Amino acid sequence: MNHKKAQWPWHVLTVLVLIGLAGALYYATSLMSYEWRWNRVPQYFAYQAEETQRATDISTVTELVRKGSSAQVTLRNDAGDEQHLTVDENSLQFAQGDDVAEGDVVGVTRHWAAGPLLWGLWTTLWLSVVSGVLGLLIGLVTGLCRLSSNPTLRDLSSIYVELVRGTPLLVQIFIFYFFIGTVMNLSREFAGIAALSLFTGAYVAEIIRSGVQSIARGQNEAARSLGLSAGQSMRHVVLPQAFKRVLPPLAGQFISLVKDTSLVSVIAITELLKSGREVITTSFSPFEILFCVAGLYLLINLPLSKIASRLERRLAQSD
């Protein structure tokens, strides 16, 4: 209890430091004569889209029923065919009994639609999930190959890991899209996922390899003495123990993957950062949009970090 009481002044100091940083940022923007326009931001998350409702034939408004904020319009042509439309009441262009020409706008309907920032967030999420799962599978296989007694498997996996880790991800994305993608006629999404997966797989392979090697050799020998094969020993004894040790670095790698998805914008994939840059060109609110983009990345990564920490504690309690 006394320990907690002694800590509260430091927490207060932390809050004061954060407030000071926010104030310094605001002061810096005031020196630039920057005008904050946060009221422009919500429309880039969600907005009310309008859909025009038109008459398909020369007809007459035979019935008009108002229900709340909408109006149900019935149009009838000379042949007796009817067209039923529902439009927003305040957009209604005709009254009952009016004649309507073919193609005339009767009104509009409005519905909520996702804005570019939400679409960019969705693209970042599915790119991260697909690339993360594939990268984990590639890394698991490659990491075990690096521990194999077969020299060919060991050499090939080592070459792959060193090549990928020794070159920038941006260069790999360019190679996959402009060279391999052109030869094999790959879509930009496929090329981006392939580059992200192979890049992540190389780092996961090293994490898996180091995790397996951290398990005492006696564990494997004890399993083999009980009659388990090498594969069974690895699957039932070594890997479960190694998983507990590699969980923190794996979580860190997947968090890095989420941020690395921003690089696929160079091959015209509209993920979160590219969506933000496109919004900036129309909103003229660069700081607001960039802060929102940063906040959305945190919205993805902070829960991942918390989940990994909780899982790590639970696994530690099970020992």
| Residue-wise pLDDT tens digits, 155-200 | 999 999 999 999 999 999 999 999 988 888 889 999 999 999 999 9
Looking at the fold, whether 144 and 270 belong to one and the same domain comes out as: yes
Position 272 in a domain: yes
pTM for the model stands at 0.83
Tens of pLDDT, residues 259-312 = 999 999 999 899 999 999 999 998 888 989 999 999 999 999 999 888 888 877
Position 239 in a domain: yes
Looking at the fold, whether 110 and 121 belong to one and the same domain comes out as: no
Position 39 in a domain: no
Looking at the fold, whether 282 and 249 belong to one and the same domain comes out as: yes
Position 25 in a domain: yes
Tens of pLDDT, residues 206-263 = 999 988 887 777 776 677 777 777 777 777 777 777 788 888 889 889 999 999 999 9
Q: How far is CA 261 from CA 39, 70, 106, 274, 306, in A?
A: 28, 43, 44, 10, 21
Position 40 in a domain: no
Within a 13 Å sphere around the CA of 94, how many CA atoms are in the beta-carbon half? 27
Looking at the fold, whether 175 and 248 belong to one and the same domain comes out as: yes
Position 135 in a domain: yes
Looking at the fold, whether 302 and 217 belong to one and the same domain comes out as: yes
Position 314 in a domain: yes
DSSP state of 148: -
Looking at the fold, whether 172 and 278 belong to one and the same domain comes out as: yes
CA distance linking residue 192 with residue 200, whole number of Å: 12
Position 190 in a domain: yes
Looking at the fold, whether 261 and 235 belong to one and the same domain comes out as: yes
Looking at the fold, whether 96 and 231 belong to one and the same domain comes out as: no
Domain total of the chain: 3
What do you get for the CA distance between the two ends of the chain, in Å? Answer: 29
Looking at the fold, whether 109 and 250 belong to one and the same domain comes out as: no
Domain span at residue 21 reads 2-34
**CATH number for position 173:** 1.10.3720.10
Looking at the fold, whether 301 and 206 belong to one and the same domain comes out as: yes
Helix or strand holding residue 130 (H, E): helix 116-146
Looking at the fold, whether 128 and 276 belong to one and the same domain comes out as: yes
Question: In the structure encoding, which two tokens stand for residue 36, read together?
Answer: 């904050």
Looking at the fold, whether 179 and 229 belong to one and the same domain comes out as: yes
